[in-house]
Amino acid sequence: MLRKIAALTLWFAAGTCAAADLHWVGTWGCAPQLTEARDLPPAVPGLANHTLRQIVHTSIGGKRIRLRFSNDFGSEPVEMKTVSLALAAGSGTARPITFHRDASVLISAGKAIVSDELDYDLAPLTDYALTITFGNMSNTVVTGHPGSRSTSYLTTGGAPQTFAHWYIFTGIDVVADGSASAVVVLGDSITDGRGSDTDGNNRWTDDLARRLLQNPATRNVAVLNEGLGGNAVLSGGLGPPALTRVDRDLLGQSSPRWLIVMEGVNDIGVARSETIANDLSAAYQKFIDTAHAHHILAYGVTVLPFGKSMYDSPAHEAARKAINAWIRTSGKFDALIDGDAALRDPATPNILLAAYDSGDHLHPDVAGYQKMAGIIDLKLFQ
């Protein structure tokens, strides 16, 4: 029998974390939004009464897990009849996910839920398949994450339909020891990975997660990519503006210890006001204050060059230089990650170096994302 869950509920069974230093840490996550028409599941057959298999890539591992799901932007309940998690490669590894010990659940419109805990040997830096068999739900008003850069499979009775979007599924937490915590990256399409390879797990945040795991002093640091393609800090853009989603996408995560802010290019690129740099610096200060109020360190990334792109203009370039000067010199962020200096063309600093340009002069390519991750000092996360 379906159990309706009307609010976010976290299930900590008595005795689950026997050692005092064990706690929940997010290992994978994505920022949900109202899915736009162009990114909806195929109208025929739609998600309702069909099975969706979605692939995600972990950062740190653990022996006990719980999963997060969101219907934040839905207009009606989402019925999940069955949910299971398995290794994406191989067979025979699927484990059922339950909710209040029931296999099925209703997620109320506008709400998010967390599954029951499950003993599960979740490996780090590994692809997992989350399979949901849906019951009744809207096929046109759907909570999702359009820029998955990961192939999803919708079973229709014949060959599955494929697309690179996630729906409803928003996170995996693991139980980890006291040294483990997460870095949350608040960003736009550059953090979301536009210009990286579908199914390649080569966004700059993926590259950072690999570097952290390979470094003994930071092997327990998870990376949560909360980038949204087309997102803006202040207003407009795609999805909720960063100013309104920071509480959900930072404070709503399990054990965030660091915040990286890499967002603002979309605000600058459409700005009509000369005050945009000042407006962005005020917004960054709010991110910093929110982080510090919860004992989270905040690191700022300079805005990358966008010369020759659709955003290029003398006024926009002046605003980019002004906000980058604030990030570099104000001393407000706890540390600087100078992506601009690392990826720009030394001979023409207002454009991306050709070797790092995906082709649109705005988003880096795979080599550019590797460079981005490579310049980050891992001591910032010790």
**Domain definitions of the chain by residue range:** 3-9+23-171, 177-381
Which residues share a beta bridge with 162? Answer: 153
Q: Look at residue 59 in the predicted model and tell me its pLDDT.
A: 98
Contact between 143 and 70 under an 8 Å Cβ cutoff? The reply is yes
Closest CA to 105 of 129, 127, 77, 86: 77
Confidence band for 156, pLDDT divided at 50, 70 and 90: confident
Which residues share a beta bridge with 169? Answer: 69
Q: Look at residue 157 in the predicted model and tell me its pLDDT.
A: 80
Task: Report CA Rg, the chain.
Answer: 20
Mean pLDDT for the chain overall: 94
Element (H, E) at 122: strand 118-122
Q: Report the pLDDT averaged over residues 198-220.
A: 98
Q: Look at residue 165 in the predicted model and tell me its pLDDT.
A: 98
Contact between 113 and 69 under an 8 Å Cβ cutoff? The reply is yes
Q: Which range is least confidently modeled, 16-25, 27-36, 152-161?
A: 16-25
Q: Which two tokens stand for residue 150?
A: 């990961």
Supply the CATH classification number for the domain 177-381: 3.40.50.1110
Element (H, E) at 279: helix 276-293
Q: Which two tokens stand for residue 360?
A: 């649109």
Q: Look at residue 115 in the predicted model and tell me its pLDDT.
A: 98
What 3-state class would DSSP assign to 82?
strand
d(CA 84, CA 130) in angstroms, rounded, equals: 6
Contact between 120 and 63 under an 8 Å Cβ cutoff? The reply is yes
Whether pLDDT at 151 is above 80? yes
Q: Report the pLDDT averaged over residues 127-141.
A: 98
Q: Report the pLDDT averaged over residues 133-156.
A: 97
First CA to last CA distance, the chain: 47
Q: Which residues have a Cβ under 8 Å from the Cβ of 363 and sit 6 or more positions away?
A: 189, 190, 194, 195
Element (H, E) at 325: helix 314-329
Confidence band for 5, pLDDT divided at 50, 70 and 90: very low
Q: What percent of the chain has pLDDT over 90?
A: 92
Q: Report the pLDDT averaged over residues 214-224.
A: 98
Confidence band for 21, pLDDT divided at 50, 70 and 90: confident
Q: Which range is least confidently modeled, 7-16, 180-189, 204-213?
A: 7-16
- The predicted-structure confidence for 246-267, as pLDDT tens digits, reads as follows 999 999 999 999 999 999 999 9
- The predicted-structure confidence for 334-370, as pLDDT tens digits, reads as follows 999 999 999 999 999 999 999 999 999 999 999 999 9
Helix%, strand%, coil% for the chain, nearest 5: 25, 30, 45
Q: Which two tokens stand for residue 177?
A: 């020891």
Closest CA to 361 of 349, 369, 352: 352
Confidence band for 18, pLDDT divided at 50, 70 and 90: very low
